């Protein structure tokens, strides 16, 4: 048996001889084999599969999962590649930016890891435009979720799910029989971490730009065992397959969330009250607005926080019909200027993709100046506010509404000397837009993406004395 020996090298160093080199080689070989056997995930999964590995959603929904399929076709899961804003953002901003800046080059493929996963796996990057009706249009289809078996690493993010396509389809139940494929129970599919593989995201600058799952995991609902599915895939009596059993808790594939007005409305509860209920013209009245997040298990807004804007607008209507805009009283915390509506310009980094190095930007907020905004601003490497998550190098103050959190805002109204006597109605309205209107208008995004959705409203009365 050959013995391990070391011989003196330069400077007296011990140099391994034949046996130790052989051991080192074996270790490296075993490591390489282990890596080769590890299922690819995240960026490493690019181009490792083919379209033929996955059935189309139409195949699943034609005769077996008909009702579930119809629900899916109306959900954003079926539209996250074809949706107008996603298409514009990807092809007008992300792709050209990636082609000009090596730091963000990975987003050309990476966006598709969550928006068109099968195209990403097939290496079809960038996929054809939605108008070409390729398989990229399937977005997040049945086969994407029901072939996932786990995720790589310690934290779910940046599409680090592991897919195992084949005849086995994974779901939340066991011992099911299907005439088309094998079935297996997946404990992972029922966890919030499964959702986190796409609903957590880091930018190329190592900044958390999507953290919906992480927000949930740090909040009260996670401690109580309430998962993403319980709110976004509600349960009802029914079948999940036409020939299958009836269940008391069939998961509905509705996925209603930030794009669903019905889901957004009522998320935050509002109450506004004055410090006095009678006043004379010339007096000062202080109003307090309480906003309580009664509905979301994560922060509101969440997800694409760089795009979405939520703001409280308070106005008083006097007895003669005159309308008076009340501006929020500043609190003085660091970064507060980004949480109060202004006429500042922002988003200058869109000029990179557009080939306009001197692009001046567009209106930062497109809401009435002085209104309180509930947001977390994103900043590019130059310190400018950005709506491009892939170009986010830092984050500003997080002034969003956490789960079960109540925020208090105050408004001071110096009553005009000529204010008519009678009831003064003061109304607080919490508004929501999926996309900052100035950005949507500039990029010609359909107006439905920038329409105002009223989250909630509340009014109070002060009687103005003669």
Q: What was the pLDDT predicted at 145?
A: 97
Q: What is the per-residue pLDDT for 74? A: 97
Residues 66 and 147 grouped into a single domain: yes
Q: Does a structural domain hold residue 21?
A: no
Pairing, β 161-163 against β 345-346: unpaired
Domain harbouring 320, CATH code: 2.60.40.3880
Boundary residue ending a domain (206, 232, 251)? 251
Query: 241 with 297, same domain?
Result: no
Give the residue from 130, 93, 167 showing the smallest Cα distance to 356. 93
Please report whether residue 9 resides in a domain.
Answer: no
| Domain boundaries, position 428 | 261-464
In a domain, 97, yes or no: yes
Into how many domains does the chain fold?
2
369 & 267 share domain? yes
Phi, psi of 292 (to 5 degrees): -120, 125
Is residue 435 very low, low, confident or very high in pLDDT (cuts 50, 70, 90)? very high
Asked, for residue 277, whether it belongs to a domain, the answer is yes
Please check whether residue 92 lies inside any domain of the structure.
Answer: yes
Query: Over 70: is that where the pLDDT of 288 sits?
Result: yes
Residue-wise burial string across 270-304, b where 16 or more C-beta atoms lie within 10 A, e elsewhere: bebebeeeebeeeeebebebebbbebbbbbbbbbb
- Is-above-0.75 flag for pTM? yes
Note whether 119 and 53 are within 8 A (CB): no
**pLDDT at 29 exceeding the cut of 80:** no
The verdict on 277 and 425 lying in the same domain is: yes
Boundary of a domain, candidates 186, 220, 251? 251
What pLDDT does residue 25 have? 52
What CA–CA distances, in Å, run from 180 to 55, 184, 189? 12, 13, 21
Q: Give pLDDT, residue 38.
A: 75
Contacts of 344 (CB under 8 A, 6+ apart): 363, 364, 365
What residues contact 113, with CB distance under 8 A and at least 6 apart?
42, 43, 45, 46, 120, 158, 159, 198
Q: State the pLDDT at residue 396.
A: 98
Note the pLDDT of residue 37.
Answer: 59
Section 292-308 average pLDDT: 97
Residue that is written with structure tokens 């007005």 in the block: 261
- φ/ψ of 128, rounded to 5, equals -60, 155
**What are 61-109's pLDDT values in tens digits?**
999 999 999 999 999 999 999 999 999 999 999 999 999 999 999 999 9
Q: How confident is the model at residue 442 (pLDDT cuts 50, 70, 90)?
A: very high
């Amino acid at each position: 048996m050959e013995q391990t020996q070391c011989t003196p090298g330069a400077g007296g160093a011990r140099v391994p001889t034949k046996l130790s080199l052989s051991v080192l080689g074996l270790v490296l070989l075993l490591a390489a084999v282990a890596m080769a056997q590890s299922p690819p995930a995240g960026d490493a999964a690019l181009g490792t599969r083919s379209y033929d590995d996955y059935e189309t959603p139409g195949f699943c929904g034609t005769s077996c999962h008909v009702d579930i399929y119809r629900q899916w076709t109306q959900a954003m899961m079926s539209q996250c590649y074809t949706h107008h804003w996603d298409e514009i953002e990807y092809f007008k901003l992300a792709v050209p930016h990636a082609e000009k800046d090596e730091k963000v080059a990975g987003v050309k493929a990476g966006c598709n890891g969550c928006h068109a996963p099968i195209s990403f796996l097939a290496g079809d990057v960038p996929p054809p435009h939605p108008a070409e009706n390729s398989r990229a249009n399937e977005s997040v289809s049945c086969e994407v979720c029901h072939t996932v078996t786990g995720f790589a690493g310690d934290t779910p993010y940046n599409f680090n799910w592991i897919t195992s396509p084949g005849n086995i389809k994974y779901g939340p139940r066991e011992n099911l029989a299907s005439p088309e494929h094998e079935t297996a129970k997946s404990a992972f599919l029922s966890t919030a971490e499964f959702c986190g593989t796409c609903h957590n995201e880091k930018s190329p600058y190592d900044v958390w730009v999507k953290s919906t799952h992480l927000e949930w995991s740090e909040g009260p609902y996670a401690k109580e065992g309430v998962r993403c599915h319980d709110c976004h895939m509600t349960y009802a009596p029914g079948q999940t397959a036409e020939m299958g059993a009836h269940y008391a808790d069939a998961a509905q594939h509705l996925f209603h969330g930030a794009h669903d007005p019905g889901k957004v409305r009522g998320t935050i509860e509002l109450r506004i009250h004055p410090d006095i209920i009678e006043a004379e013209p010339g007096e000062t009245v202080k109003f307090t607005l309480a906003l309580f997040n009664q509905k979301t298990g994560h922060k509101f807004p969440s997800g694409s926080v760089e795009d979405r804007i939520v703001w409280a607008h308070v106005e008083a209507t006097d007895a003669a019909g005159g309308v008076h805009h009340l501006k929020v009283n500043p609190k003085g915390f660091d970064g507060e200027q980004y949480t109060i509506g202004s006429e500042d310009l922002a988003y200058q980094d869109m000029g990179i993709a557009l080939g306009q190095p001197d692009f001046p930007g567009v209106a930062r907020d497109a809401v009435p100046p002085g209104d309180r905004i509930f947001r977390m601003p994103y900043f590019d490497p130059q310190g400018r506010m950005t709506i491009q998550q892939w170009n986010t190098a830092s984050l500003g103050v997080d002034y969003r509404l956490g789960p079960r959190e109540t925020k208090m805002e105050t408004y001071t109204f110096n009553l005009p000397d000529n204010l008519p006597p009678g009831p003064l109605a003061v109304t607080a309205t919490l508004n929501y837009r999926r996309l900052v209107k100035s950005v949507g208008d500039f990029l010609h995004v359909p107006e439905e993406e920038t329409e105002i959705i009223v989250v909630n409203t509340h009014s109070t009365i002060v009687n103005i004395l003669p």
